[in-house]
Structure 1
Amino acid sequence: MNALPDVFLDAPIAHRALHDEANGRAENNFAAIDAAIEAGFGIEIDIQQSKDGQAMVFHDYHLDRLTEATGPFAQHTLEDLRRVRFRSGEIGVPTLAEVLDRVAGRAPLLIEIKDQDGIMGPNVGALEREVARVLENYTGPVAVMSFNPHAVAVMAEVAPKIPRGLTTCGYPAKDWPLLAEPTRERLRQIPDFDRVGACFVSHQWTDLASERVAELKAAGARILCWTIRSAAEAAEAARYAENITFEGFEPA
């Protein structure tokens, strides 16, 4: 297991980069990334897979919310996605390789691999292997995580030197309607932490007081959290977490 570098604890981490759609900075896109670097923040990004297997920096499973295009993200090729116009005015979904070139080690990069199985199951691997391939020669501070422990297990196999963690939460039914209760119950216990060789969790901030998070912290796990949207929330999260992922305001 590789330890999470201390640089991931030195400055707050901008959730999907320092995005502000009204000012031309879409989530996970270059202007938001540049703004986060300039402000001295860490950067969290999300990875989805294009129809032709490319690791793309985008959060949603559909294009509709953030862009003028429509439909499932995974049904569009790289060339399709290069032409997508964001509601912020930006053109094109960046690839992970392009984002790495843009960041170039100037900020710690926390990469969340979005679940491609649909139900947090084992039908994953292609995207993780592509992420590992793209990261192979990157020398800046980077760590990977996923809600799906199977995805993190694949990363342990194909990129064992990259620090890895689990994105976690209390799995309330209203937020996870596609997951059966037995699956939610299992995941909220974070049972795969040791199995996948994780060294950190990024946990939903409203559930940071859970006994399981306290157990992991006592055992040496680094505790990050998501998603903080005010100074008051940041102060509360600081009782439990070593760093925050934030959006909608800029922490002091």
Structure 2
Amino acid sequence: MGKHVGGKLVLAGAVAAGAAVWAIKPRSFSDKQRHFAPSVPDVWYAHRGLHDAGSGLTPEYAAHSGEYVALARRCALRAGYGTADFSGSIAPENSLAAFAAACEAGFGIELDVQLTKDGRVVVVHDDNLLRVAGDPRKIADLTYEELSRIPLFPAPAKPGDAEAAPVADPVAAAQFAPQGYYQHVPLFVDVLRVIAGRVPVIVEYKFTDNAAWGERADELMEKGDQLLQAYDGPYVIESFHPGAVNWYKEHRPEVCRGQLAEPASLTGTGVKEWLAGLLAFDWISRPDFVAFDWHGGPSPQLRAARWMGAIPVSWTVRSADELAECDQYFDRHIFESFVPDSK
């Protein structure tokens, strides 16, 4: 009886292990060959451009972020943005100036795309403008014309700031475009025009709910891809939403696609987030690469995906110490707030 039960347990374990491997299996090599799908270009990727204000420039990283901010400003100036005596932010995150600066420095770029109220594809990370402009309104509730009058990191923001100060009356402030130099949330088509194929780009399709899908999601995918099809330069796409990565699997299999994920606990985040962190939804997207929170480099699911052929890409490494801790687990890196040495 004991041997019989033991055999069943072994069989059940083997079946479970096989199902887990099937679930996280990336795109097959033969499928890549059939569709001539490229790999992720082997370069450093500047998170939201090479920026002098924005994410990652927190007190935690202040000791080494000065060199990074200075490089962003020098490169933005060299690209024709701002002036040397301008005391505010020249190249805030996800701005044309930040992307131009990354190109000048020779770094690849990672960026995020969303839809405005009037259906324009813009480059911005958060679903609102509070952190980057002191304006709590949502991207989906604003037209591009309105966004173009809202400066990113306006005064009193200064180079190296991670967050913008709240604006007292954002609606009134955005009635007219401010005087003088400023950067605003850009159109994706303008960003692609600035990059102009000079460096590779990782394009993240951004959604407020990675478990839902609707007309706006389809609209973002179709419009974003239309712009990329007209673009003459190297790019790959990624998303936390497996449906977005699956969209490329179904509609544009020749494009290199990546599944974004991060470690999650069953008790802390919920079942869906926990399963996503285990890469359990990769069967939907069959990605070419997995962009994973750098803290999760040693995780069994990432190691298994790498063993089966997925390229692991870290996000977001913010210091040389963090790089040293995770480098052995990843083949590509998305970085900010420090200047990496060339590999």
**Same fold per TM (> 0.5)?**
yes
Where does residue 5 of structure 1 map in the other structure?
A: 39
Kept in 2, the 8 Å contact 1:205–1:237? The answer is: yes
C-alpha deviation, 1:209, in angstroms: 0.6
Matched, 1:74 2:108: no
Identity of aligned residues (%): 32
Report matched runs for 1:77-96 at 5 Å: 77-87=143-153, 90-96=182-188
Where does residue 121 of structure 1 map in the other structure?
A: 212
Kept in 2, the 8 Å contact 1:40–1:107? The answer is: yes
SS in 1 for 2:110: strand
1: CA distance, partners of 2:313 / 2:298: 13
Kept in 2, the 8 Å contact 1:227–1:245? The answer is: yes
Which amino acid letter does the alignment assign opposite residue 156 of structure 1?
K
C-alpha deviation, 1:51, in angstroms: 0.6
SS in 2 for 1:167: strand
Structure with larger Rg: 2
Where does residue 164 of structure 1 map in the other structure?
A: 257
SS in 2 for 1:107: coil
Where does residue 309 of structure 2 map in the other structure?
A: 220
Kept in 1, the 8 Å contact 2:243–2:284? The answer is: no
C-alpha deviation, 1:188, in angstroms: 1.3
SS in 1 for 2:131: coil
SS in 1 for 2:132: coil
Where does residue 57 of structure 1 map in the other structure?
A: 123
SS in 2 for 1:70: strand
SS in 1 for 2:285: coil
Where does residue 28 of structure 1 map in the other structure?
A: 94
Gaps of 5+ in 1: none
C-alpha deviation, 1:156, in angstroms: 2.6
Further displaced range: 69-78 or 81-90: 81-90
Kept in 1, the 8 Å contact 2:117–2:143? The answer is: yes
1:58-94 superposed Cα distances (whole Å, 9 cap, x missing partner)? 0011111111433111100111112111115623311
1: CA distance, partners of 2:240 / 2:192: 22
C-alpha deviation, 1:111, in angstroms: 0.6
2: CA distance, partners of 1:249 / 1:203: 19
| Richer in helix (by share) | 2
Which amino acid letter does the alignment assign opposite residue 15 of structure 1?
H
Where does residue 196 of structure 1 map in the other structure?
A: 285
C-alpha deviation, 1:119, in angstroms: 4.5
C-alpha deviation, 1:172, in angstroms: 4.8
**Please, which of 144, 148, 153 is the counterpart of residue 241 of structure 2?**
148
Report matched runs for 1:123-142 at 5 Å: 123=214, 124-142=217-235
Gaps of 5+ in 2: 1-30, 54-87, 155-180
SS in 2 for 1:71: strand
Matched, 1:14 2:46: yes
Kept in 2, the 8 Å contact 1:129–1:155? The answer is: no
Where does residue 321 of structure 2 map in the other structure?
A: 232
2: CA distance, partners of 1:120 / 1:165: 17
Which amino acid letter does the alignment assign opposite residue 5 of structure 1?
S
Over 3 Å counting, the alpha-carbon distance change for 1:24 and 1:206 in structure 2 is: same
SS in 1 for 2:130: coil
1:76-126 superposed Cα distances (whole Å, 9 cap, x missing partner)? 01111121111156233111111111101100000111124x242233322
Which amino acid letter does the alignment assign opposite residue 38 of structure 1?
E
**Please, which of 92, 108, 120 is the counterpart of residue 42 of structure 1?**
108
| Pairs aligned (count) | 245
Over 3 Å counting, the alpha-carbon distance change for 1:38 and 1:132 in structure 2 is: same
1: CA distance, partners of 2:284 / 2:265: 24
C-alpha deviation, 1:251, in angstroms: 0.4
1:21-52 superposed Cα distances (whole Å, 9 cap, x missing partner)? 26421111111111111111110001111011
**Please, which of 201, 220, 228 is the counterpart of residue 109 of structure 1?**
201
SS in 1 for 2:113: strand
2: CA distance, partners of 1:28 / 1:224: 20
Which amino acid letter does the alignment assign opposite residue 67 of structure 1?
A
1:231-250 superposed Cα distances (whole Å, 9 cap, x missing partner)? 11112221100011111111
